[in-house]
A and B are shown apart, each in its own frame.
Chain A
Amino acid sequence: GDSVTQMEGPVTLSEEAFLTINCTYTATGYPSLFWYVQYPGEGLQLLLKATKADDKGSNKGFEATYRKETTSFHLEKGSVQVSDSAVYFCALSDSGAGSYQLTFGKGTKLSVIP
């Protein structure tokens, strides 16, 4: 079955540091890939997405590139802020499994300190 593996947290960075959160996946079909963010006390929000190989999703300074050859979708940001402190989830949607199914990774908690 489909699965998503993301790096274990928590991750603690100083403000303005570079961020990378690794995500790799296995899927039977041709999945779309997503990053979701969950701020403290809130539900998940879609951060960015990529629907085919070599696509780059970007939003709020975050980027991730769909790499089919390495089955990866790593999240990056050049300069993190305290307000980026949250839990980040990598996820995939495999069209072969039906559009209502999202497979999530376990989440990576990011803490940014001033």
Chain B
Amino acid sequence: NAGVTQTPKFQVLKTGQSMTLQCAQDMNHNSMYWYRQDPGMGLRLIYYSASEGTTDKGEVPNGYNVSRLNKREFSLRLESAAPSQTSVYFCASSEALYPILAFFGQGTRLTVV
């Protein structure tokens, strides 16, 4: 099925370890986003990419880096994981810079111990 694919689905890290969350979309969308979802809170935007070759900070970018590898792929990197980064991470994409109509992936549940 067409859509947004995230890998991995689950991950446990030790404090200080690094990892990259992968996201790919096959809808030829221009814009992509990374959100985090914490218990009792709505989604918060970490980074977004309006188009291939551009990235911008969202509401909560500290501790993260992103790469828009090509039009299909948008990765999120944690250089030195902290327990505060324990969360569910969602990647999303939309045809234009209009996240209201974005398609979301199934999420990556990350635990930092």
- Seen from chain A, the residues whose Cβ lies within 8 Å of a Cβ on chain B are 4, 32, 34, 41-46, 49, 89, 91, 93, 99-107
Contact = CB atoms under 8 A, between A and B. Distances in A.
Given A42-B107, A100-B50, A100-B98, 15 more contacts: A43-B90, A43-B105, A43-B106, A89-B42, A93-B99, A93-B100, A99-B97, A99-B99, A100-B31, A100-B45, A100-B97, A104-B43, A105-B42, A107-B40, A107-B41
Interface of B: 4, 31, 33, 40-45, 48, 50, 58-59, 90, 92, 97-101, 103-107
B50 A41 contact: no
Most buried by B among A34, A93, A102, A106: A102
Contact of A45 (B48, B59, B104): B104
Contacts of A106: 40-42
B9 to A, nearest CB: 9
Most buried by A among B4, B40, B100: B100
Contacts of B43: 44, 89, 102, 104
Nearest to A41: B106
Nearest to B101: A46
23 contacts: A41-B106, A42-B104, A43-B92, A46-B101, A49-B100, A89-B43, A99-B97, A99-B99, A100-B31, A100-B50, A100-B58, A100-B97, A100-B98, A101-B59, A102-B45, A103-B42, A104-B41, A104-B44, A105-B42, A106-B41, A106-B42, A107-B40, A107-B42
A30 B48 CA distance: 23
Contacts of A45: 104
B15 to A, nearest CB: 27
Nearest to B103: A43
B29 to A, nearest CB: 14
A27 B58 CA distance: 18
Contacts of B59: 101
B90 A100 contact: no
A36 to B, nearest CB: 9
Contacts of B90: 43-44
